[in-house]
A and B are shown apart, each in its own frame.
Chain A
Amino acid sequence: MNYGHPLEFGTFVTPGNAPPHDPVALAKRSEELGFDLVTFQDHPYLPAFHEMWTLLSWVAGQTSRIRLAPNVINVPMRTPSVLARAAASLDLLSGGRLDLGLGAGAYREAAAAMGATVLPPRESVDALSEAIDIIRALHDVSSGRPARAGGTHHRIVGAQPGPAPAHHVPIWLGALKPRMLRLTGEKADGWLPSFRNVGRDGLVAGNKVIDEAAVAVGREPSDIRRLLNISGTFSATSSGFLQGPPSQWVDELLPLILEDGVGTLILATDSPAIMETFASEVIPALRAAAPAPTTFKPSGVRAKRRPGIGYDELPASLASAAVEPGDVEYPLVRSNYMRGGSPGLVLRPSTDAEVADAVAFAARHRHLPFGVRSGGHGVSGRSTNDGGIVLDLGRFKDFEVLDTAKRLVRVGAGMRWMEVAAALEPHGWALTSGDYGGVGVGGLATAGGIGFLGRKHGLTLDHIRAATVVLADGTIVRASPEEHPDLFWALRGAGANVGVVTSFDFQVPEVGDVGWAQFVLDASDTAQMLVKYGAAVEAAPRDVTPFLLMGAPQPGQPHFAQVMAMVDSGDPEKIIADLTPIASVSALYDQNVVIAPYAAVIANASSEPHRGQGEPISRSGFVRHLTPEVAAAIARLLGSGATPFFQIRAVGGAISDVADEDTAYAHRSANFQITALGRNRQRLDAVWDREMYGVTEGLYLSFETDPRPDRLTDAFPPATLSRLRTIKAAYDPTNLFRDNFNIAPSESAA
């Protein structure tokens, strides 16, 4: 019997506290030797031992790769709810390296002397079962609702689940007797006996009970990993089980793996020499003789799989970090900031080669939606979806200064703009992005980047000097004015159509402290205020970039506009002088001006996982000036109540210094970009089409969600679109990249 689990090897180290660092050193040695996990026993009543959880947490801080597990926790001595949160924390802090071995408690008198409630054996199994339910309930954040679990011995009543651990923390039970074995089959992820206590016969018998119990509750025997604590010594000649040369160990252990389905062997020793011999002579021989798969998903996870996805064909490079609907991390990765999602598979590569593997995998699933996600703030792009594949670049977080004199930096596509700002700030540099620090680098830099330093320094994409791109056929290329110049042109404005950018090289300007102003203007005469505002903004020095925000007028309340403006200057007098004309266009209700680093202004987002729901509804357009005609149209749009959130972002200035044909972003002559968010698509579209469409020229694709095909020609003027179609045909002829303002490849060129 073999359950198909990948083979793993661990050590079982005595947690002695004198000298205190001995077990720590053995744990580090285990990591160096390539063991998969290090485990410690838990006997809180023994003063000669470290308190296990403290030791485990300490070891987590001293290691980086090896997994950590109690072997096994004395559950009666701990409060299961607190243990659950501690486990989630340790899993998070260690980067998903915790496995949880649990036991119903031994040494009952010693435990009772410590104040623990000690139950008769039968009830202690029930108590353990309740503890498992409590841990699982507190680790499951999917419902977002308070949890109840347990009842007789342990309970939670309305405790809020969380934090979610970094991965599904498997629960292994140290079971010997039939009731515990049945519980293992019913609820656990693993069985963890010691060979010394079970022997070969006990393994066979225990497996049988577990398998039957699992099947009886609709699980599969393979849902339960079989682990085994073993011990022995190496010697030239044999003197008993695991007492002899390494070859004897291999011969004795192999049947346990092949016939009894043991997937994890845990070596109990405090001798570095035994660890070394085992690692260098026994493990390789066992691996060679017992080939096993690299990943494994239990039946409960497999039951939630979506149709049409070759989950089991995922390459090993992607499998371990991939998230599917049954995984615990799924609630944290399914949705975007403004959009709910239920993808069938989220791939989280961390190297360019893995991105290429992910693209190849997506190409084999042409029948499914495919989204490319960096920061998950897409309004237009479907970077999450229903039942499809999401390629998530969230792990591309590297930041590197390439050339200090030229101020050239390399930025991973998965960084957030507030992280980029924080990394640039110590150098006295800043890169304009947008108004929200949570937005991702990948989506914004491939579409535009209309930010608070725009009039002074241009669009974000105007600073791109080169990029690393994974193409639809899986090749990894550099795009720059010299290498793949067509691709380089296209990815600055229509990047979502031509490839997956993994990193950008930006040349960034020197930016010291900036003036940051927020003020509220009277807008009772909306149209008149806007005309004056527009003129004041256009007349202002390029150092000033203001964004104006309005909502629908509320009956009985004054209508007002909120302005957020940045001035690229740390001089208070200049800041006031530059802003005064804009703040004077109508009555000023409230104002606040500070001088701060750009990074501090943009550090305005939380790093909570996205929990968006539904679909965003948004329209966008550019105008050259806020003419009386435009302003009147805006006033009617706002008056209709169809847009509770309306913004005018100032563009122009340095953005207009670049020619329309130089990048795929082609709306260079506009001075204002207008966005209206709605609650109801039909209602917003009706008013926008009637009032705004005629007075705007083109749109910013990042703020447009209207699915009608004409929007593509609004996003890209004819010459741009035609060049994009040709480039698309060359770089993505099968149209794999299609989640955001999709451009069909031109047929003539294909």
Chain B
Amino acid sequence: MTDYGQDLLFGTFITPSARPVQKAVELAVAADEYGLDLATFQDHPYQPSFHDTWTLMSYVASRTTRIKVAGNVLNLPLREPALLARAAASLDLLSGGRVELGLGSGAFWDGIAAMGGRRLTAGQAVDALAEGIEVIRSVWDTSSPGGVHVRGTYYTVDGAKRGPAPAHDIGIWVGAYKPRMLRLTGRLADGWLPSLSYLPGGPSDLTEMNAHLDGAAEAAGRSPSDIRRFLNLNGSFSAESRGFLDGPPDQWAEELAGLTLEYGITGFILAADSPAAIELFAKEIAPATRELVAAERS
């Protein structure tokens, strides 16, 4: 049992399809109206049927009032960290603190190379991500003196001015599965963002992954509760139970509460491209889950 005690967040994972042009925007607006906490978007700049995720996030933030936006996760190999830091700070200022930064080390290297990006091995990409995070945090950090001086193997940002400071402390969330990335997440990140469908053993895989995160956090002098654990969810709603996350709302609430209490998951992000699913998640499942968790914790 690992519950890190954070409050619960509920969000959507919206496909950034470029057609119909406004579909992703409309879904995010619906999520905002129904009261979800997060609208998140995958980022595959080599995928021609998708919107550019940063442009979409900026536009969505402009069309919504309350919900936060985040990449889930942004493709760092095709986005220069110093510029990304400034962009995130700008959007955070414009939106009144509604941006979080989901980051990934890159996966589809053929696609990245086709776009003119550099091809890295998995190990190199983890190191590059660590450097990228350092660059981003240094740009945001206007309280330290002097300019940004990160001289890395993959990114060198040497002498750039710091700032602007974002409107709030933007969280850096990392999509991680393998031990090295998990350790990086535990060491450097504010959040961890895996997808349930990528866990071969289902939720029980989370135990070992949490151990990697917690160990790395502690080794770096942080507390395991500094890292919020998200989970991207796939599932369906049906009148009768047909399996894990496939059933009526009260079953969902029980299973999600179980994920919180057993594995410390406190951010639930539903892959949903229909307003009806978003509404159900926001209006029925989120409050019921919160209630169950509150009851257990008290």
Contact = CB atoms under 8 A, between A and B. Distances in A.
Interface of A: 17-18, 20-21, 24, 44-48, 50-51, 53-55, 57-62, 77-82, 85-86, 88-90, 92-93, 109-110, 113-116, 134, 138, 141, 146, 150, 154-163, 166, 607-609
Nearest to A94: B59
B54 A54 contact: yes
Contact of B83 (A55, A77, A141, A159): A77
Interface string B166-188: 01000000000000000000000
Given A80-B116, A85-B45, A53 B55 contact: yes
Interface string B79-112: 1111100110111011100000000000000010
A77 B157 CA distance: 12
A203 B120 CA distance: 47
Nearest to B154: A115
A163 B161 contact: no
A348 to B, nearest CB: 16
Given A17-B90, A47-B163, A53 B63 contact: no
Contacts of A17: 89-90, 93, 164
B45 A55 contact: no
Contact of A157 (B62, B86, B113, B163): B113
B18 interface: yes
A115 B113 CA distance: 19
A50 B94 contact: yes
Contacts of B63: 61
A58 B19 CA distance: 20
A47 B18 contact: no
A81 B115 contact: yes
A317 to B, nearest CB: 24
Given A82-B115, A607-B20, A90 B55 contact: yes
A510 B21 CA distance: 31
A81 B48 CA distance: 11
B157 A113 contact: yes
B45 A48 contact: no
B164 A47 contact: yes
B82 A92 contact: no
B46 interface: yes
Please classify the interface of chain A as helix (H, G, I), strand (E, B), loop, or mixed, using the class held by over half of its residues: mixed
Interface residues of B, number: 57
A166 B148 CA distance: 39
B51 interface: yes
Name the 10 nearest CB pairs between A and B, nearest first: A61-B62, A162-B48, A47-B163, A57-B58, A163-B18, A113-B159, A86-B52, A20-B93, A51-B87, A89-B52
Given A61-B63, A608-B19, A89 B86 contact: no
B56 interface: yes
B45 A58 contact: no
A236 to B, nearest CB: 38
Nearest to B54: A86
Contacts of B81: 115
A146 B114 contact: yes
Nearest to A155: B116
- In this complex, which of B58, B111, B148 has the most chain A Cβ atoms within 10 angstroms of its Cβ? B58
Contacts of B48: 85, 138, 141, 159-163
A631 B206 CA distance: 60
B157 A159 contact: no
Interface in B27-64: 45-46, 48-52, 54-56, 58-63
A607 B156 contact: no
B14 to A, nearest CB: 14
Contacts of B91: 51, 54, 58
Contacts of A50: 90, 93-94
A57 B59 contact: yes
A93 B49 contact: no
Interface string B110-145: 010111110000000000000000010000001000
Contacts of B78: 79, 81-82
Contacts of B52: 82, 85-86, 88-90
Contacts of B22: 93
B114 A157 contact: yes
A55 B90 contact: yes
Given A93-B51, A113-B147, A79 B94 contact: no
A609 B52 CA distance: 19
Given A17-B93, A86-B52, A113-B158, A60 B82 contact: no
Contacts of A45: 160-161
B87 A53 contact: yes
B68 interface: no
Contact of B156 (A46, A115, A134): A115
B80 to A, nearest CB: 6
Nearest to A110: B160
A146 B51 CA distance: 18
15 contacts: A50-B93, A57-B54, A61-B58, A61-B63, A79-B78, A82-B78, A89-B18, A92-B21, A93-B59, A114-B82, A115-B157, A154-B116, A163-B19, A163-B50, A608-B19
A268 B30 CA distance: 38
Given A61-B62, A608-B19, A114 B157 contact: yes
B233 interface: no
